[in-house]
Amino acid sequence: MTQNYPRKLTAIHSPFTTFCEGPDDIEMGYRLFSLFYKRNYAQKIPKDRDSEILVVSSGVGYFQHFLEQRGYSHVTGVDSDHYKVEYAQKKGFSCVCADCFDFLAELENRYDLIFVEQEVNHLTRDELLVFLKMCFKALKTGGMLILSAANCANPLISSEYFGNNIDHYTSFTENSIRQYFSLTDFKEVKVFAHDFYVIWNNPLNYIAKLVTACLHFSFRIVFKMYGKSNKIFTKRLGALAIK
CA–chain centroid gap for 17, Å, is: 12
Q: Decide: 168 and 122 in contact? Cβ < 8 Å.
A: yes
CA distance 200 to 229: 32
All domains of the chain, ordered by start, with CATH? Answer: 26-197+232-242 (3.40.50.150)
CA–chain centroid gap for 164, Å, is: 19
pLDDT tens digits for 7-55? 689 988 999 999 998 889 999 999 999 999 999 999 999 999 999 999 9
pLDDT tens digits for 91-108? 999 999 999 999 999 899
Where residue 219 falls among pLDDT bands split at 50, 70, 90?
A: very high
169-192: average pLDDT:
94
Where residue 6 falls among pLDDT bands split at 50, 70, 90?
A: low
pLDDT at position 157: 84
pLDDT at position 5: 63
pLDDT tens digits for 150-170? 999 999 888 888 888 899 999
What are the b/e assignments for 196-226, b being 16+ CB within 10 Å?
bbbeeeeeeeeeeeeebeeebeebbeebeee
Q: 226 versus 66: which is more confidently predicted?
A: 66
